[in-house]
Amino acid sequence: MDMREYIGEAEKALLHTYNRYQIVLERGDGVRLYDMEGKEYLDFVAGIAVFAFGYNNREYNEALKAQIDKIIHTSNYYYNIPAIQAAKKLKKVSGMDRVFFTNSGAEAVEGALKAARKYAYLKDGRTDHEIIAMNHSFHGRTFGALAVTGNPKYREPFEPLIGNIRFGSMNDIGSVKAQITDRTCAIILETVQGEGGLVPATEDFLKEVRAICDERDILLILDEIQCGMGRTGYMYAWQKYGVKPDIMTTAKALGCGVPVGAFLMTEKVGQNSLAAGDHGTTYGGNPLACAAVEKVLDLFEQNHIIENVREVAPYLEKRLEELKEKHDCITERRGTGLMQGLVLDRPVGDTINRALENGLILINAGANIIRFVPPLIITKDNVDEMISILEKSLV
């Protein structure tokens, strides 16, 4: 079958919950992807901030192959060495104390919300605790994650969701304070909003939220699913400001393609929240997924990935700013590190499609924002190439 025939088969067989771009990707190498007809694309999406090392990293591939030949799955009734090693290394880079491995970022958010409510329940025995989330946030598609996602268009068709959720606004501490009651048990936010428009939390805002949580024994949950794993120039974005959460979620580049996430917590929360029987997962933390996590964390250090982000990200910002100055249709650049966005005065769908035709893979973040979340191994030459293709595609 040719590419059009494969797309036709997909439309017959797969549930239509995605408006997919009309290509069938077949393989990748470095920062390049190739469709089944052999056309080459420069990738500035990385599987939505997943492939930190790009594609076909030999050391990563070999680590997974070696684990497949040993054992793939055992269930959580038993210990396995990759999970133990991965948890140890993840604790080290995150500064957190306890780890629960999940299959996805949304599952990590679900676990974080459960842990926060259990923590509050053990304090006072009440079952009416409230959680404050942020407007324009995105935490996932499952019922709990959707309930704290600050965009009504995602929530409304599936209501009623879990209750007792209130919304403040990112970087507006007054709006957060206005939502606090004696039932508030947690505040959840993305350290850098992704789907909501590439908006980083300011240092002052994070510190003020942290102070409120400390004063009232409210848990701070930071969602680092997209902005974590080195993308901002720090392993986790909060580390730039030293505002440590009580619970943190992580996924995407944690497994660099293998579906795996985690929620982490401090020892205080770990000892006073979820206990045996409160939470579980059949696949979470299996040997294959955790072999991926362990190898990813090793490669981050060996290949100086964060150092590369800190070198290339300012150059990407500079080139995006130059592009903005040249084109009136670009109204703003947003973001931090290798998590950037260009705001246009029109919907960006046509521009992204033209870029795809010209050999550049991009995605949006909302109707009028082009999002740039490339592999963390990109070079300045890759940035120049991307800018050249994008400029041709802005017409």
- Tell me the per-residue pLDDT of 185-207, one tens digit each, with 9 for 90 and over: 999 999 999 999 999 999 999 99
End-to-end CA distance of the chain: 34
Record the tokens describing residue 268, joined without a space: 């205080």
Contact 219, 249 (CB under 8 A): no
Mean pLDDT of 116-142: 97
For the chain, which residues make up each domain, given as ranges? Answer: 60-302
Residue entry with tokens 């190439």: 385
Residue 160 preceded by cis peptide, ω within 30: yes
Predicted structure pTM score = 0.96
pLDDT digits (tens, 9 = 90+) for 281-324: 999 999 999 999 999 999 999 999 999 999 999 999 999 999 99
pLDDT in tens, 161-180: 999 999 999 999 999 999 99
pLDDT digits over 219-260, tens only? Answer: 999 999 999 999 999 999 999 999 999 999 999 999 999 999
Return d(Cα 220, Cα 344) in angstroms, integer: 33
Q: Tokens 């965009």 map to which residue?
A: 151
As a whole number, the mean pLDDT across the chain is: 97
Q: Give me the CATH code for the 60-302 domain, please.
A: 3.40.640.10
> What's the Cα-to-Cα distance from 4 to each of 44, 111, 230, 354, rounded to whole Å?
24, 41, 37, 18
Cα–Cα dist 85/45, whole Å:
29
